[in-house]
Each structure stands twice: as structure tokens, then as C-alpha cells.
């Protein structure tokens, strides 16, 4: 019975920390641009992939590599478009 109480306390402690992290993430997400938030959303699965393949020995097939390249290639295009749009807006504001 004592071990069960310890496990339950550990679970409650972890849930509290997780809730705190989620609240802080939500507060931070309101303060940054949506494009930046979108980029950050890609980091978590990418880090998970690196840990799984690099540290845990998961298989990384050619199909996985192609998919990974397409996702990050699309993200690069979105980032490039965002930069071009920002530069055009800045130049337009300077000519006024």
C-alpha cells in the first residue's frame, strides 16, 4: 500500500509540473508571431526523431528520410516567403 501511495504522489507531482509547463507555453505562445510558433511546433517531433534514431536505435528508412526532407523543405519555403513578405512591407513603408 505504501508503494502505491508513493507512485500516486509521483504521478500527481508530474501532472502538476506538466500543467505548469503547458500554462507557461500558452502564455509564451500569445507573445510571439504565429510563424515562429509554427516553426517551434516542428522542433518537438524532429527532436523526438533524433532521439529515437540516434539514442534508442529506431530504424530510419529511406521513406522516413524523404518525408522528413519534404516537411522541412516546406517549412523552409514558408520561412522564406515570410521573410520576403516582411522585406516588401518594410520597403513599402520606407517609400511612403
| Whole-Å CA distances, 41 to 7, 28, 63 | 31, 13, 22
The predicted structure's pLDDT at residue 4: 77
Report how far residue 13's alpha carbon sits from residue 19's, in angstroms, rounded to the nearest whole number: 10
Task: Decide: 27 and 20 in contact? Cβ < 8 Å.
Answer: no
Q: What is the pTM of this model?
A: 0.54
The predicted structure's pLDDT at residue 62: 95
What pLDDT digit, counting tens, does each position of 42-57 carry? 788 888 888 999 999 9
The predicted structure's pLDDT at residue 35: 75
Which residues of the chain have a pLDDT value below 70? Answer: 1
Instruction: Give the Cα-Cα-Cα angle 59, 65, 67 (nearest 5 degrees).
Output: 120
Amino acid at each position: 500500500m505504501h508503494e502505491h501511495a508513493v507512485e500516486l504522489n509521483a504521478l500527481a507531482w508530474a501532472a502538476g509540473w506538466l500543467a505548469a509547463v503547458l500554462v507557461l507555453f500558452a502564455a509564451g505562445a500569445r507573445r510571439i508571431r504565429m510563424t515562429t510558433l509554427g516553426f517551434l511546433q516542428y522542433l518537438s517531433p524532429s527532436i523526438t526523431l533524433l532521439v529515437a534514431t540516434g539514442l534508442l536505435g529506431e530504424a530510419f528508412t529511406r521513406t522516413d528520410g524523404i518525408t522528413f526532407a519534404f516537411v522541412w523543405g516546406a517549412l523552409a519555403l514558408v520561412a522564406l516567403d515570410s521573410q520576403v513578405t516582411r522585406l516588401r512591407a518594410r520597403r513599402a513603408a520606407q517609400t511612403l
